[in-house]
Structure 1
Amino acid sequence: MTDDLTWLLHRLVDRVPGSRSAVLLSADGIAKNWYGLADDEAETLAAMAGSICSLAKAVGTRFGGTPEGNVRQVLVETDGSILFVTAPSIGTVLAVLAGPGVDAATLSYEMGRLGDQLPQQLATPARQDIAAAQLGNR
């Protein structure tokens, strides 16, 4: 099972002034670890971020000229918050909610640094691979 990486999310949010919360989720929108949110909020944000990332990947595949459609970053800005979404590893999405005063460049850098530092720990295997492995162990 996945290690508890909440401490990494806590460190990320603390490092960037204006950041409020962070969720590490699987590409299909399942919250794995979170910081700064209640459980139900984390699950809702994970589902939203997974959908946003999926949409961005489809745009990249269709219009970006890359068959993988890798998502570097998606930004959703509202009057009261900014949502940063990135896919640091295959099968993994990182979402950070921040206030409008956040330094976007700093937060983007720190999110990228987190993904670069720990790609193996952040990777989420595809659910089909897990099911196949479990069936093979019977």
Structure 2
Amino acid sequence: MHRDLSWMLQDVLKVPGARHALLLSADGLRRGATDGLGTDLADTAAAALSGLQSVSRSTGKFVDGTNESRWLQTVVEFEGGWLFLNQASAGTYLAVAASPEVDMGDITVRMQQLVQRIGSEMTSPPREAGDHT
């Protein structure tokens, strides 16, 4: 069973314009979410973001022609703001939603600081057969 790591994510919201943070496993399970992000939206976003990280990681050859580039981050722009997605540790990803006015440098630095401080807590080992948690 995995612990809820929501309490660790609140620090990211100190960046002006940051709206929500979500921690998810590679297989699309919510590991934690900031206050104010409803369970249904968090679960739906975790499943979708799992697919997004997989697609992003598979496009390295398009970027450098070799497939040797390691994926670091995906940034998606919407009319209503930004989505930032990066690897937190093996099998775990951190996503942050932010307003259009967010300082992109500040949010990515804060995300990296969070990942460095709690990386060992964020590791999601592969689920075993019969593990339903």
Same structural fold, with TM-score higher than 0.5 when normalized by the shorter chain: yes
What's the offset of the Cα at 1:41? Answer: 0.5
Distance in 1, matches of 2:119 and 2:11, equals 17
Please report the RMSD computed on the Cα atoms of aligned residues, expressed in angstroms: 2.0
Supply the AA of the counterpart residue of 1:71: W
TM-score normalized with structure 2 length = 0.87
Q: Which one-letter code corresponds to 1:31 in the other structure?
A: R
Deviation of residue 61 (structure 1)?
6.0
> For the structure 1 residues 5 and 19, does the alpha-carbon distance in structure 2 shift closer, same or farther, using more than 3 Å as the test?
same
Whole-Å separation in 2 of the counterparts to 1:98 and 1:117:
22
In structure 2, the gaps of 5 or more residues are: none
Paired residue type of 1:25: L
Secondary structure of the residue aligned to 1:43 is: helix
SS of match in other structure, 1:109: helix
1:45-74 per-position Cα deviation (integer Å, ceiling 9, x unaligned): 11121111001111126755455x643110
Write the letter of the residue equivalent to 1:32.
R
Kept after mapping to 2: 8 A contact 1:70/1:87 = no
Aligned letter for 2:129?
Answer: A
* Alignment correspondent of 1:24: 23
Q: Percent identity?
A: 36
TM-score by length of 1: 0.84
Q: Output the CA distance in 2 between the equivalents of 1:49 and 1:60.
A: 18
Displaced runs of 4+ in structure 1, greater than 6 A? none
Q: Which residue of 1 aligns with 2:109?
A: 109
Question: Which is helix-richer, 1 or 2?
Answer: 1
Q: Is the 8 A contact 1:25 1:50 kept in 2?
A: yes
For structure 1, the residue ranges without an aligned partner over 5 or more in a row are none
Greater relative contact order, per chain length (Cα 8 Å cut-off, separation 6+): 2
Partner of 1:97: 97
